[in-house]
A = this chain, B = another copy of it.
């Protein structure tokens, strides 16, 4: 969210789409590739990894720029190319036509070059690991086997990325919220991050600007004051969203999950508590995902600290969210979160106390601190949802089902809207086939409609400066 950034100077020249070529070497000793792996990255065929590696890399390299549309990005840098080179000391990346904004005096910002190697690592791992192949096959079978295999795949991706680690007390706060928020909301998210950082808590977000960046910046200052040199700023993304929400260079641990469902599962398995800032459709999707899971009867007694927060100016926003949840999912759903307005210190203290309960619970049940094995996630939340016009139109949006199942279907509705707004695939589908049609029981569709309308009115659907064109039509 450029206009919120205090440091926009570095971005100026990117308006001309200036590019730079560079050879990048990894700083850490992480990356050596077999000949087969290197070949796959250069393989431009459908079975090869080149296309995926290139598009994720370009997204990472675009982090300084305001743009939330994957398709536009690919068109803006048509000459961008990235190749692995094998040398005697290890691999390097040969990059052509990269956005100039991630270079300082011709040298790539170290944080960004680390992100490129994270992309490399995850693209290779997802492709080479047997479990990923298994979950792809099993994705469409609605059974328990699939659920366990999905969780196992998430575990292996995160372990390989070293996001999950033993011997650390629970301290990961997931921050969700919009990438397009107001200056006041952004500054507030920094203050919350600062208070979290002062208490030794680490930050995990979905990458990108706005509410995903503010808490990390604040925590950086908080950690510096507490001399927590190893502060973690974890970004979890996936190929479909990374272009719109490129990881800020402060992110020092980046994981690219294979799809949106595994990304969401990664948040709730690796995080120990969640703070939700104001946001748009994506944030609503995340809230519905989380409430849907927490409403599953098996999770009734599982502690999971969840706070919705914003500055005084955002109070109305959360009232609206709260009412939407009340009228669709009901009081039980409301009991799983706490709304705190304009009080960063209380937010931080609430999370710290909540996490202490998580710690006790895991200790008592011998569950790992680093992975929330006990959280039950129903298959409906794990199976990739393809936001096609057909799938969108046949979502079961009525109250004649278990609440957590309704939450899952509502989540899919918002997921489709996010795709139609910012994902390459979704945008092209809308271009070809017109607006998504979403229909359901009016006691549900009415609140949905109002919420989406409010998001539009508040400018939460698109980056400022652009006019939002809805990608959906509500059929009540």
Contact = CB atoms under 8 A, between A and B. Distances in A.
A283 to B, nearest CB: 23
Interface stretch (A3-11, A254-262, A403-411): A3-11
Contact of A9 (B166, B195, B199): B195
A366 B91 CA distance: 10
Given A6-B190, A227-B111, A373 B31 contact: no
A7 B221 contact: yes
A18 B252 CA distance: 38
A226 B36 CA distance: 32
A227 B344 CA distance: 27
A152 interface: yes
Contacts of A367: 88
A472 interface: no
A253 to B, nearest CB: 12
Given A32-B159, A35-B373, A88-B368, 8 more contacts: A9-B195, A10-B345, A29-B165, A104-B198, A112-B225, A114-B227, A130-B130, A224-B249
B191 A7 contact: yes
A353 to B, nearest CB: 10
A335 interface: no
Contacts of A373: 35
A310 interface: no
A369 B89 contact: yes
A109 B217 contact: no
A220 interface: yes
A273 interface: no
B368 A225 contact: no
Contact of A225 (B34, B198, B221, B249): B249
A34 B166 CA distance: 12
11 contacts: A9-B344, A32-B371, A34-B156, A34-B159, A36-B152, A88-B359, A88-B363, A88-B369, A90-B166, A110-B227, A111-B226
B27 A227 contact: yes
Contact of A167 (B9, B90, B221, B370): B90
A155 interface: yes
Nearest to A191: B7
A166 to B, nearest CB: 3
A34 B153 CA distance: 10
A402 B277 CA distance: 63
Interface of A: 6-7, 9-10, 26-27, 29, 31-32, 34-36, 86-91, 104-105, 109-112, 114, 128-130, 148, 152, 155-156, 159, 164-168, 187, 190-191, 194-195, 198-199, 217-218, 220-221, 224-229, 233, 249-250, 252, 344-345, 349, 352, 359, 362-363, 366-371, 373
B227 A220 contact: no
B86 A366 contact: yes
Contacts of A165: 29, 32
A104 B229 CA distance: 18
A198 B64 CA distance: 14
Nearest to A164: B32
A220 B218 contact: no
Nearest to A367: B88
Interface centre among A110, A156, A352 (most CB of B within 10 A): A110
Nearest to A128: B130
Q: By CB atoms of chain B within 10 A, which of A166, A371, A373 has the most?
A: A166
Nearest to A26: B166
B111 A362 contact: no
Contacts of A199: 104-105
Given A6-B191, A29-B166, A349-B105, A220 B229 contact: no
A112 B112 CA distance: 32
Nearest to A114: B227
4 closest residue pairs by CB, A with B: A90-B166, A225-B249, A111-B225, A110-B226
Given A224-B220, A362-B88, A368-B90, A345 B29 contact: no
Nearest to A220: B224
Contacts of A362: 88
Contacts of A349: 105
Contacts of A130: 128-130
Contacts of A225: 109-112, 249-250
Contacts of A26: 166
B217 A221 contact: yes
A312 to B, nearest CB: 13
Contacts of A29: 165-167
